[in-house]
Amino acid sequence: MRDICNYSLKAHNTFGIDARCSRFLEYENEQEAQQVAQILNGSDTPYIIIGGGSNLLLTQDYEGIVVHSAIKGYEIEGTSMVCGSGMVWDDIVAISLQHELYGAENLSLIPGDVGASAVQNIGAYGVEVKDLISTVCAVEISTGQHRVFRNSECGYGYRQSRFKQEWRHQYLITKVCYEFSPVFEPHLDYGNIRAELERRGIASPSARQLRQVIIDIRNAKLPDPKVTGNAGSFFMNPVVSRDTYEALAAANPGMPHYTVDDCHEKIPAGWMIEQCGWKGRSLGRAGVHDKQALVLVNRGGATGSEIVNLCRKIQQDVKERFGVDIQPEVNII
């Protein structure tokens, strides 16, 4: 177990903010997770639990304990894969295809760790990880006991879970079990997947071809955090009532949307931000990516507070033009 005081978190957040924490605890197995739980439970010091830092914005030094999982490894039995919470998510997608296990192709190249996938309910191109998660294993911080949660207990919704809401910082996730399909059933009707496949002359893609298309699309529109600090999609796409959408669509011809159910539509936040003129613009050292308006970037030396100020200005402009609230997907500390 790593236990370090006055620790820099620059390598643990993809915005590249050089904030520090008072103490950093990292566990490599379930027994160490229990030790960390004992430390946290016996201390009055505040703490936060982080993953790969791809969904994190630090606005200042953290005067408390930061906890991180470094549990690696995976086991495959049939169509199930049990993965350590410190594994890189995209590695799991690649491994699943190597073993002819399908269902995660559209989630290719989403940054972050396995543990965070179960907290955030990551999703992209019409697929959410909740549809793959079977169980989540964790250590309860208050008791140090091992817990196993079935998918139905986790309260999954759009970018939400009970781990992110009422269970926030109550559990140290150790393993996640994903249930894949032995049959490849491509999901092609979200975003510009079909258009890109047609451009490449691919009528019926294999799983590996679909994964590569997703990777190429993401690389084309998302900046590399090693070059330009960012956290991927900064805002969640708002879900509105059908009546609200129809009124907005009438006033804004061509407004894109995705049907959630009979009563709700999802509107791309990036489209609304772009309509407000923010694509490619900057506010000081923080800016909006010139290829994808959903992505806020660190132009170089930006503080977390500068990025938050940009976030608030964008929210204000979207609200004034469309009457819709857009909320950050990123955790702001």
Catalytic residue ranges: 159, 233, 329
Residue 29 region by backbone torsions, left for phi larger than 0, else alpha for psi between -120 and 50, else beta: beta
Contacts by 21-25, CB closer than 8 A, 24 or more apart: 21/61, 21/62, 21/63, 21/64, 21/65, 21/66, 22/62, 22/63, 22/64, 22/65, 23/64, 23/65, 23/66, 24/65, 24/66, 24/68, 25/1, 25/65, 25/66, 25/67, 25/68
Query: What is the four-CA torsion angle of 125, 127, 129, 134, rounded to 10 degrees?
Result: -160
| Sheet-wide strand order for 133-140 | 74-77, 80-84, 171-179, 133-140, 146-150
Would you list the DSSP string of 143-191?
T--EEEEEGGGS--BTTB-TTTTTTTTSEEEEEEEEE-BSS------ST
Round to whole Å and give the CA distance between 67 and 172. 9
Nearest to 196 by CA among 172, 220, 231, 170: 220
Would you list the DSSP string of 19-63?
-EEEEEEEESSHHHHHHHHHHHHT--S-EEEESSSTTEE--S-EE
Our CA angle for 174, 94, 111, nearest 5°, is 60
Total residues found in the chain within this entry:
333
